[in-house]
A and B are shown apart, each in its own frame.
Chain A
Amino acid sequence: MSDTDIIEQLKQGSELAFKKLVDTHQKLVVNTCYGLVQNREDAEDIAQDVFVEVYRNIDKFRADAKLSTWLYRIAVNRSLNHIRDNKKHKWFHSFEDEVAAKNKAVMQVSTANSDEPEYDFENKQRAIILKEAINSLPQNQKVAFTLSKYEELSYEEIAQVMDLSVSSVESLLFRAKKGLQKKLYKCYKKKCM
């Protein structure tokens, strides 16, 4: 069943078509949300809302548009709303402070489980540093970077999802990588990685 068939049947209220849509695109939506919110439970929760929104607004979907682009857009918007709603007052916390705090948490977990191999611990630390560095990027750069790295979308596809020109996406990704590199180097110098 193609996307067009699914949409047509869904417009007629077919539950089977909705199940097909959810099953086919579940990974795409959850992964996009996960790339932005960095938490599996939250990502699944947001993804469920995404599909509910799709079900409710299927009549508004334009036939000439691509279903996956629409899904990416809703997933990105919902994830950004979630991040904004959950944003705590972190204005006075620097990137290094946050990394240090997370490292401390990892250290506590690691000490409790002494069987954990050392390389696993190092990778966990690296993952925390990387996630914090991605999270500290400006919103547009973060979205472009996530779509590029987590969903492996091309510049053209990212441009469609974000409603930008391809050159803008190129610029966003260039600045995102530069920013990430700068943050990782700063952290490396301060021995937090």
Chain B
Amino acid sequence: MKCNKVHNKLIFFLEKELSVSEMEQVQKHLNECSECALFAAEMKNTLRILDSDKVTDENPFFFTRVKARLEKQSQEEPVARPVLIRILQPVAFSIILLLGIYGGFKLGQTPKVAITDSSLSEQEMVPYWNELQDEPIESFLME
């Protein structure tokens, strides 16, 4: 048996889950190959930890804690909400949301400038929005 074949069967060998002939073959290889024997020993020691790594002792306060948790949870249980609240609450939130969207649209719209013939109103409004039209940059630099 080759080393890689032994590596594939090692865990089953250690757990004694191989057939008798396979057990013998693996054992024979381990007797001859020191490297595989080292890995087998390490693996055996590692898997042995599972036997001792268990909860063996009981917590004497365990039941008290379970009872306390049970009582705490029953106190925290939410009271059933009336039907009216269950319906009214989502409706109110929907209205607020729609109002918010409408308000956002209204605020986002640019104010319409009333176009009139009077030059005074144009002079009043245009500089506010675009000063360059009234005072081009070229003329400003020339001066």
The reply to whether B12 and A26 contact each other, CB–CB distance below 8 Å, is: no
Beta-carbon contact of A188 and B55 below 8 Å? no
- A127 and B49 in contact (CB under 8 A), knowing A31-B54, A43-B55, A150-B54? yes
> With A178-B11, A181-B11, A188-B39 in contact, do A52 and B46 touch (Cβ < 8 Å)?
no
Per-residue 0/1 for A83-100: is the Cβ within 8 Å of any B Cβ (1 yes, 0 no)?
A: 000000000000000000
Check if A34 is an interface residue, CB within 8 A of chain B: yes
- Which of chain B's residues have a CB closer than 8 A to the CB of A126? 45-46, 49
A91 to chain B, nearest CB (A): 26
Q: Of all chain A residues, which has the CB nearest B51? A: A149
Cβ A184 vs Cβ B55 within 8 A: no
Q: When chains A and B are docked, how far (Å) is the Cα of A166 from the Cα of B56? A: 28
Interface residues on chain B, number (Cβ under 8 Å): 27
A27–B60 CA distance with the chains assembled, in angstroms: 11
**B-side contacts of A19, CB under 8 Å:** 63
Cα A193 to Cα B45 with chains together (Å):
11
CB-based contact A22/B54 at 8 Å: no
Which chain A residues in 23-63 approach chain B with CB under 8 Å? 23, 26-27, 30-31, 34-35, 40, 43-44, 47-49, 51-52, 55
B residues sitting closer than 8 Å to A (CB atoms) are 7-8, 10-12, 15, 39, 42-43, 45-47, 49-50, 53-56, 58-59, 62-63, 65-66, 69-70, 73
